Copies of this chain bind each other. A is one copy, B any other.
Amino acid sequence: MTSTRDLNRSEYRALAELRYRIRRFLRFSEAAARDAGLEPQHHQLLLAVKGMPDDRRASIGDLAERLQLKPNSTDELVRRVEGRGLVTTERGAEDRRQIIVSLTADGEEALRELSVAHLEELRGEARALAEGLDRLIRRRA
């Protein structure tokens, strides 16, 4: 069941360019996290906890969805970060199967410093990324 049409050169190039920009964006963010003394994944976890929609409290399962990881991987990540004192965990009050993850004061501070210090530069990368997206989306929409 092979499709009959090909992609042309510029379409491939637009796809490749988009991926390049995404990778640059992620690379920048990872370097920023490491400069702040955080593992990139740890940073992402803190951000996911803090940025939960509707002020919803973050369970392992919620975080797995936001981080697009499997629940067991998320569990492991949470433990690693808990080991560094950046988050705490507690059993859910209504559903005692759940684990609710919260930021510690150290976690809040680490996330704040990192976000503040790099937000402007991040916006620059984001802008380049947005251009790449536009190029892809607008082509033969």
Interface residues of A (CB under 8 A from B): 2-3, 5-7, 11-20, 22-27, 44, 47-48, 50-53, 66-68, 111-113, 115-117, 119, 122-123, 126-127, 129-130, 133-134, 136-137, 141
A19 to chain B, nearest CB (A): 6
Whether A17 lies near B51 (C-beta < 8 A) is yes
Tell me the smallest distance from the CB of A49 to a CB of chain B, in Å.
9
> How far, in whole Å, are A129 and B137 apart by their CA atoms in the complex?
11
By a CB distance below 8 angstroms, the chain B residues around A50 are 12, 16
Q: Work out how many copies of this chain go into the complex.
A: 2
Q: For the complex, what is the distance from the CA of A16 to the CA of B51, rounded to whole Å? A: 5
The residue that A51 contacts in the complex, of B13, B115, B116, with Cβ under 8 A, is: B13
Q: A133 — which chain B residues lie within 8 A by C-beta?
A: 126, 129-130, 133
- Tell me, rounded to whole Å, the shortest Cβ–Cβ distance linking A130 to chain B: 4
In the bound complex, residues from chain B placing their C-beta under 8 Å from that of A6 are 112, 116
Q: How far is the CA of A27 from the CA of B64 in the complex (A)?
A: 13
Given contacts A68-B24, A133-B129, contact A116 B3 (CB under 8 A): yes
Known interface pairs A12-B51, A15-B47, A23-B68. Does A137 touch B113 (Cβ–Cβ under 8 Å)?
no
26 cross-chain CB contacts under 8 A: A2-B113, A3-B113, A3-B116, A3-B117, A5-B116, A6-B112, A7-B119, A11-B115, A11-B119, A12-B50, A14-B51, A15-B119, A16-B50, A16-B52, A17-B51, A18-B126, A20-B68, A24-B68, A122-B136, A123-B136, A123-B137, A123-B141, A126-B136, A127-B137, A130-B137, A133-B133
